[in-house]
Chain A
């Protein structure tokens, strides 16, 4: 009896899954077109899954093994089940026992995995979604157990007669019913929107990801793609940014649909932890609600802090955020949710499905700023300043070098070329950052570096404008900066501002400016290793290091600052969240400008992290981080930039006494020392 029933069940489930897949694909295709290399993407998908995705999943060893057992067992079991029970190969003399045996092994493996899934679901952490996800372990078990039992007679462990006769019939029907449940969840549910949707959408998302360059390559490519993509401003009639879910590109919608609701993003999101109304997981789920149409009432995870679930609703062609003009009621997402993000990329770094949350948030912000003209709080003022004065503070652009009045800095306009172009950043207007800049100049002069600055010709890099959604101002600033930089010859740009570093290095390329850019910590580490800097031993107390998001997660530079600190004789007492898991200072993405209230402040939480290490001093490498962390009231630790620590530790160059070992380096000035002593 099962011989006829099983193929019907299996192929019916598969047929329904194909219909579901077609419907789901139609939902994604509501998005804007975005050309992808179709076959190439599909071919790259297994590697992206096995290497890149598992690199993220493997940060949690238990879950990683659980997933390997469950998913691996399931995929193998489905393929073998189609062969053995669907096509009836189990009955064949030669292949039957072998395939049946493999199927038993696969379903057993899947069962073991599902036990671990069940264990995790007993007391699930807050970040996991509940709802339909709670039945998943049972569904996994139903599938694996029923497949296992049904296959037993095939391989002859149980006699064929076992499922015959009156009792056998009932047993067979019961097994078939359990299998139907399993197939329903695992095959039908995969394309019709159950928890298993993540497998179907996720596989295609990996294949057609909008940032294919973020995946590692066989040739050893690191795979990092963090720069925002430029908005095409050429068509004056076009709508700018994302207003409705269908304004996302189709592969962005596909990416949202791939979410497994594991909540890793929620666990690392600084805004969520601070009680601001943002939860990256909920945001992605809201986009899924939007692309399918409906309300968020079925969402079973943590809500946006302070915003009850069930009040928001949307549709593929309806607005995501309501226009400011006096409308009551709610759309899919409130504007303050989008403005809470610090663009720290912690969620993207943690996401095992490689979803690009920050891209989506900036896309929606672009619409709010460029079309609604509704950037909250100081946003409008900062953008107006950037337009009128090329810096966010509205300072006189000709006062950019006032802090260096006594330093006699070499100007590019006078020199025309230099080995190193020192990019000052907008910190040049900030008295705290001016101390860092002076320290950096002292270090460069001590190492006898041939450098020059743009001085008043420099403009804001456009970082803040872009992340506030004002792509027009960003591109205007970027294009003028690129034109200025094109006038001069230099080998690299060095800056103490990771935001400028990121924008100059990763985002100007698309607009026609490609440069070699170094963060000052990278450059100082290089100078030290080449023997141009000599430090007095460290005499201070315990020190910890705070990784700036735009240096670490955005650019993968975790080692250089630590190497510099090591060279200073400092042993870094690492915070629990450091390196790629570093917690944001709260200063990125224009968050201090839009200033969405929460229960606590992000920098306060970070200074608590510092306190836990017992450090008296926290070394930083970013003007934003310095400002945010120094703004914490009653902080136990002092905040110093790496450049300041290096400048304080400088001792006279021993190499002058020992000309034999003088190394040759391209970044050195060819002749004579003309550097003046600073301070």
Chain B
């Protein structure tokens, strides 16, 4: 470890998750993976500090879910015995509050899950936040390989297990999804003892959200996978191969009618329309 490699300040944005089967509040899976990534930095960069940040309404259920993140700090050191909570009324826009808080004392790295498990869950928050702060954003992070002189070497996860190495100037916002390391167990004792530092912030009501009509999500229909491979070797190849465009077609300079016709034709061949 070279001496100039100092620890970094990391902020992890955490949300209240929702269990996919029972709907109970819990630590959100992707955000917990984000925290796991942050906790792993201590090994590479001793002296790194992690701050947890949450914006939203305060309640018994959400508090116990947020404590789930603090329970991951058992024995990790890194100053993780508090969580900063920006208290807002239900239905407020969290982005201005988060941006203001982060801009006031900018960390070098902001880690967050790609998509929330409740509420809008559009996955737009990291983009909106990065835009507002004017920081670069990297999505689908698999690992932080190193931070040197204010430049982070990141490993980004691409589909089918591919990885891409990127260099990003800090501060930056990064998001993690299922490709990031699995979150460690949350321990009850440290979670219960930890403190929530609550700050009430000005709530800007999310007007657009208020106009929306929310309905429970439906599972998207999924195309049945027809296995054509005859041997194990073929199946393995099919599973490991890169996604191939193959039958794709790029239409350029066509009229709206021609385009619509092409789409209609595709839908018919796929059996979506009959």
Q: Which residues of A contact B (CB under 8 A)?
A: 236-237, 239-240, 323-326, 369-375, 379-380, 383-384, 387-390, 394-397, 470, 472-473
Contact = CB atoms under 8 A, between A and B. Distances in A.
Contact of B190 (A325, A371, A380, A383): A371
Nearest to A325: B75
A239 B189 contact: yes
Interface residues of B, number: 21
Contacts of A395: 21
B185 A370 contact: no
Contacts of A373: 71-72, 74, 184-188, 190
A460 to B, nearest CB: 13
B254 interface: no
19 contacts: A369-B185, A370-B189, A371-B189, A372-B74, A373-B74, A373-B186, A373-B188, A380-B184, A383-B185, A384-B185, A388-B19, A388-B21, A388-B22, A388-B26, A389-B19, A390-B22, A396-B21, A472-B188, A473-B188
A370 B22 CA distance: 24
B43 A326 contact: yes
B16 to A, nearest CB: 13
A383 B188 CA distance: 11
A371 B74 contact: yes
Given A370-B188, A371-B190, A325 B21 contact: no
Contacts of B186: 373
Interface in B154-173: none
A236 B185 contact: no
A325 to B, nearest CB: 4
Contacts of A388: 19, 21-22, 24, 26
Nearest to B192: A236
Contact of A380 (B21, B43, B185, B189): B185
B259 interface: no
Given A323-B74, A371-B190, A396-B22, 15 more contacts: A236-B193, A326-B43, A370-B187, A370-B188, A370-B189, A371-B74, A372-B74, A372-B75, A373-B71, A373-B185, A374-B74, A388-B19, A388-B24, A389-B21, A473-B188
A470 B77 contact: no
Contact of A387 (B26, B72, B75, B77): B26
B239 interface: no
B191 to A, nearest CB: 9
Contact of A369 (B21, B76, B187, B193): B187
Contacts of B75: 323-325, 372
Contacts of B76: 325
Interface in B175-206: 184-190, 192-193
A380 B186 CA distance: 8
A395 B24 CA distance: 14
Contacts of A326: 43
B184 A397 contact: no
Contacts of B190: 371, 373
B8 to A, nearest CB: 19
A253 B86 CA distance: 48
Contact of B189 (A240, A375, A396): A240
A323 B26 CA distance: 25
Nearest to A327: B75
A379 B187 CA distance: 12
Nearest to B26: A388
Nearest to A323: B75
A375 B192 CA distance: 18
Contacts of A470: 188
Nearest to A239: B189
Given A371-B74, A388-B22, A388-B24, A237 B188 contact: no
Given A373-B72, A388-B21, A325 B77 contact: yes
A185 to B, nearest CB: 45
B175 to A, nearest CB: 23
A389 B186 CA distance: 17
A239 B185 CA distance: 18
